[in-house]
């Protein structure tokens, strides 16, 4: 707990530094333009909803197999998909109202369902005709997003950080318009140190500036598993907490709220909740 408190204090100081640096970059960009300007993709008009992927690898995924992994690809009438649409609407409203582009998704502990929630939310967000989405696996301790989309191994962030593989060669499209995924691949032992390293700071900055019109979701490690999330907070606009129904205690929620802070805390997703009332009717 003492380590988390120290990490929180460090994160707050780093966030102030990051915000100051961001303001300076904005002034420089106004004067001379961004050095990533040639990479920036303009926002497509509402009538041009389809995105053509030239360098990004497109995967041929099986919707039924994905459903067994609790990933909802179908875009029809589905109560589970409808639940994610409700979550999507809340997230979009809050993010757009505040001008936020980056969202970290975490949970108090292991097994709460943060990764599945991140994936399904990203898919639902991409179904929104005017929204492009980038889903990034930043659970450097236990990266797993790639395994949901591919039976075999996939390259990812670890290959970029340790071997210098270009980001464009790591991105995948799971056959859903407006959705791109950046997997994680290998794990890191010193994950919190890596998350606050210049390499990751540069990676996040490049993702933000190269895809300035995209909403970026970062799937993070569990909050209480270490100080990874706290170390990374200065580099995202908002954070969302996924909790398992009946598992988390009130004191743990209060502790999580203190660690994450109120200003950029988007809210809590209650996962694995028991159905309440008659779900056979219209609602």
SS3 track for 126-181: HHCCCCCEEEEECCCCCCCHHHHHCCCCCCCHHHHHHHCCCHHHCCEECCCCCEEE
Q: Are strands 133-137 and 172-173 parallel, antiparallel or unpaired?
A: unpaired
Q: Measuring CA to CA, which residue among 215, 207, 201, 165 is closest to residue 186?
A: 165
Q: Which two tokens stand for residue 74?
A: 């179908």
**Is residue 152 situated within a structural domain?**
yes
**Is residue 262 situated within a structural domain?**
yes
Q: Is 81 left (phi over 0), alpha (psi -120 to 50) or beta?
A: alpha
pLDDT over threshold 70, residue 261: yes
Distance CA 4, CA 233 (A): 13
**Is residue 63 situated within a structural domain?**
yes
**Lowest-confidence range among 103-107, 109-113, 142-146, 277-281?**
277-281
Distance CA 205, CA 255 (A): 29
Instruction: Please report the pLDDT score of residue 191 as a whole number.
Output: 87
pLDDT band at 94, cuts 50/70/90? Answer: very high
Q: Which two tokens stand for residue 249?
A: 């205690």
pLDDT tens profile 236-253: 999 999 999 888 888 888
**Lowest-confidence range among 27-31, 41-45, 255-259, 279-283?**
41-45
**Is residue 25 situated within a structural domain?**
yes
pLDDT tens profile 173-190: 888 889 999 998 888 888
**Is residue 279 situated within a structural domain?**
no
Full DSSP string of 176-211: -TTEEEE---S--SSHHHHHTSHHHHHHHHHHHHHT
Q: Give whichever of 112-116, 210-214, 273-277 has the largest mean pLDDT.
A: 112-116
**Is residue 46 situated within a structural domain?**
no
Q: Which residue has the higher pLDDT, 264 or 120?
A: 120
**Is residue 124 situated within a structural domain?**
yes
- The share of the chain scoring above pLDDT 70, in percent, equals 75
Q: Which structural domain, as residue segments, surrounds residue 134?
A: 2-37+53-271
pLDDT over threshold 70, residue 15: no
**Is residue 42 situated within a structural domain?**
no
The whole model's pTM is what? 0.76
pLDDT tens profile 30-61: 444 333 333 333 333 333 444 444 567 777 77
| Total count of domains within the chain | 1
Q: In Å, how far are 231, 237, 238, 278 from 192, measured between CA atoms?
A: 6, 19, 18, 45
pLDDT band at 108, cuts 50/70/90? Answer: very high
CATH, residue 113: 3.40.50.300
């Amino acid at each position: 707990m003492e380590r988390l408190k120290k990490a929180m204090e460090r994160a707050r100081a780093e966030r102030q530094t990051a915000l100051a640096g961001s303001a300076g970059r904005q002034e420089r960009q106004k004067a001379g333009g961004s050095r990533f300007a040639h990479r920036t993709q303009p926002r497509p008009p509402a009538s041009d909803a389809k995105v053509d992927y030239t360098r990004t690898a497109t995967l041929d995924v099986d919707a039924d197999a994905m459903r067994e992994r609790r990933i909802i690809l179908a875009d029809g009438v589905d109560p589970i998909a409808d639940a994610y649409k409700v979550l999507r609407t809340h997230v979009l409203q809050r993010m757009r109202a505040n001008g936020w582009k980056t969202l970290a998704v975490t949970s108090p502990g292991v097994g709460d369902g943060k990764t599945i929630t991140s994936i399904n939310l990203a898919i639902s967000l991409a179904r929104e005709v005017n929204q492009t989405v980038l889903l990034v696996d930043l659970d450097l301790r236990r990266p797993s997003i790639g395994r949901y989309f591919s039976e075999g191994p996939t390259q990812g962030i670890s290959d970029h950080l340790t071997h210098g593989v270009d980001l464009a060669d790591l991105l995948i499209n799971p056959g859903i318009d407006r959705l791109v995924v950046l997997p994680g691949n290998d794990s890191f032992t010193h994950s919190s140190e890596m998350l606050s390293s210049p390499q990751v700071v540069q990676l996040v900055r490049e993702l933000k500036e190269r895809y300035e019109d995209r909403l970026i979701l970062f799937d993070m490690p569990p909050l209480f598993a270490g100080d990874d999330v706290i170390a990374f907070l200065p580099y995202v606009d908002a954070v969302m907490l996924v909790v398992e129904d009946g598992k988390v205690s009130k004191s743990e929620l209060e502790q999580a709220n203190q660690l994450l802070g109120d200003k950029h805390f988007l809210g809590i997703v209650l996962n694995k909740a028991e159905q309440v009332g008659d779900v056979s009717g219209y609602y």
